[in-house]
Amino acid sequence: QLQLQESGPGLVKPSETLSLTCTVSGGSINRNNYYWGWIRQPPGKGLEWIGGIHYSGNTYYNPSLKSRVTISVDTSKSQFSLKLRSVTAADTAVYYCARQLNYPDNWGRGILVTVSS
């Protein structure tokens, strides 16, 4: 059974870079039709798509975040990663990683990242 697990710091200082990793187990990250994405949810609020990556390295990003986001993949470790630069308190959220065919059909449990000094 496919499982995704987010990992990384739960606290990041303003202006610094948020870095998270998603580890995929129970299935291959090298599936031609799938993308691997990041979605976030501020506390008590709705969902926002950040972006995603294909195992080939092809990426797509939310235009509103594109200038601050980099998503990368390491197929040898079955991992993909998120970097969000120059964070502010508005970036405080639960960050989910997910497998996506046309829609995200398999999600990690999420990790709360708080931006605070």
Total binding residues for another protein by CB under 8 A? 16
The per-residue DSSP string of 35-61 comes to EEEEEEE-TTS--EEEEEE-TTS-EEE
**In whole angstroms, how close is the CB of 67 to another protein at the nearest point?**
15
The answer to the question of residue 49 lying near another protein (CB under 8 A) is yes
The answer to the question of residue 33 lying near another protein (CB under 8 A) is no
Nearer to another protein, 107 or 117 (CB): 107
Closest CA to 15 of 65, 102, 84: 84
Strands 104-107 and 93-100: antiparallel
80-105 in b/e form (b: 16+ CB < 10 A) is bbbebeebeeebbbbbbbbbbeeebe
Sole binder of another protein in the list 28, 47, 58, 77 (CB under 8 A): 47
**In whole angstroms, how close is the CB of 45 to another protein at the nearest point?**
8
Nearer to another protein, 80 or 96 (CB): 96
Sole binder of another protein in the list 22, 104, 113, 115 (CB under 8 A): 104
Strands 48-53 and 59-61: antiparallel
Rg (CA), the chain: 13
The answer to the question of residue 10 lying near another protein (CB under 8 A) is no
Binding site for another protein (CB under 8 A): 46-49, 62-63, 96, 98, 102-105, 107-110
